[in-house]
């Protein structure tokens, strides 16, 4: 079966590099938002203001799932064809 990966793997390194950087930037952004969510949720929970914790967790989970399925688009880089 062939999918977009084959074309992606043969793409010019410049293209691959850009793609890779974009993916990593998005992941870093997700992680920063998650750090903020955790900090806020914890702070409010300790201040007897527990209503924030659950929405913060849901948002955090959604961000994680986005990041996880993002990985599917990671370029694999150039690989030499093995003849088996």
Partner 1 sequence: MSDQVNEPHWKRDFPIQRTEATKVSRRDFARFLCLVSGGLATGSAYVAVKANFFPPEEIKGEHFVCKAAGVPLGGTRSFVIEGSSIPYILIHLEDGSWRAYEQKCTHLSCAVYYKPGSGQIVCPCHEGFFDAMTGEVLAGPPPRPLPALEVVMRGEDVYVKAGNEGIAKNTGRM
Interface residues with partner 1 (CB under 8 A) are 3, 5, 13, 16, 20, 23-24, 27-28, 30-31, 34-35, 37-38, 40-50, 52-54, 56-57, 60-61, 63-64, 67-68, 70-72, 74-79, 82
Distance between CA atoms of residues 16 and 6, nearest Å: 13
The nearest distance, CB 84 to partner 1, in angstroms, is 8
Contact 41, 56 (CB under 8 A): yes
The nearest distance, CB 22 to partner 1, in angstroms, is 11
Q: Would you tell me how many other CB atoms lie within 10 Å of the CB of residue 56?
A: 20
């Amino acid at each position: 079966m062939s999918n977009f990966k084959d074309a992606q793997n043969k793409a010019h390194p410049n293209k691959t590099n850009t793609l890779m950087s974009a993916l990593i930037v998005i992941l870093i952004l997700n992680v920063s938002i998650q750090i903020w969510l955790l900090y806020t949720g914890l702070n409010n929970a300790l201040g007897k203001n527990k209503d924030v914790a659950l929405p913060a967790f849901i948002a955090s989970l959604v961000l994680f799932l986005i990041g996880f399925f993002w990985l599917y688009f990671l370029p694999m880089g150039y690989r030499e064809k093995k003849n088996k």
